Amino acid sequence: MSWLTEYVRPKIRGLLKREVPDNLWTNCESCEQMILVKDLRRAMNVCPHCGHHMRATVQQRLEWTFDNGEYTRIELPKAPVDPLSFRDRKRYTDRLKDERAKSQLDESMAVAHGRIGGHDAVVAVMAFEFIAGTMGAALGEAFLAAARLAILQQAPLIVFTASGGARMQEGMLSLMQMPRTTIAVEMLREARLPYIVVMTNPTTGGVSASFAMLGDIQMAEPNALIGFAGQRVIQDTVREKLPEGFQRAEYLLEHGMLDMVVTRSELPTILGTLIGQLNHAHITPSAA
């Protein structure tokens, strides 16, 4: 055999058979352009082609928000598990077990404290990756724990919302978290501590009807879906054609429901500036 068959041909076959890893590329949910996963992570999950803000995990949010990605997670109070013995396609307890294994989270909210722009801060992040960020008794406990920690540390509370609404598997107990979280916000106001809400895509249902809309400063990421019910449900109820994009962040900003729409890359700097100004004033905008 010649060197062509013994050496060159096997090399060519090896090149042709070389497989590309499945996790090397991804597609933008908005423009459908292909993006290198490492480039997407470097851009904080923002599409470099169209600027679409993709969803982020709890860990990513915390790393992006706190100075140098340094923070301390707190252990959250335990809530009753499956108080209604609920079952749909599977038992609620089994669903929780599966979600915890898949997301590596205990529930749909995580709380941490650290520094933002050199200032002490407490941050609560909703986890859409855990049953679509739905609100149950455990989330109510987590939110109360975050508010109490902020009061203890005399620090502002920043909440990142991302939710499909109330958790149907907990029925009325889920809806009870709306007044509970509202009371927690009132505790912060009585302590004259800033409460800042950053709404991300999507923020809907009982979350948008409670603590998500009670911030001293209301912020959102670009094009975030924000609303209580879906567009089709509202249209069928009012029997009128609704404006294009009426549940998107930019529309809500134009109509006074938001204070600002901020890109993900600018968010840590703006949060740090706001915290510094509010700490210097030692008064929240709502109390001014």
- Which strand (E) or helix (H) includes residue 41? helix 37-42
165 is in an annotated binding site: no
Paired residues of 115 in beta bridges: 120
71 is in an annotated binding site: no
Residue whose C-alpha is closest to residue 271's, from 224, 231, 210, 215: 215
28 is in an annotated binding site: yes
Tell me the backbone φ, ψ of residue 224, rounded to 5 degrees. -65, 140
50 is in an annotated binding site: yes
Cβ neighbors of 206 (< 8 A, separation 6 or more) are 135, 165, 166, 174, 175, 177, 178
- Cα–Cα distance, 50 to 52 (Å, whole number): 6
The conformation of residue 183, written as its DSSP 8-state character, comes to H
Which residue ranges are tagged as binding site for Zn(2+)? 28, 31, 47, 50
Which residue ranges are tagged as binding site? 28, 31, 47, 50
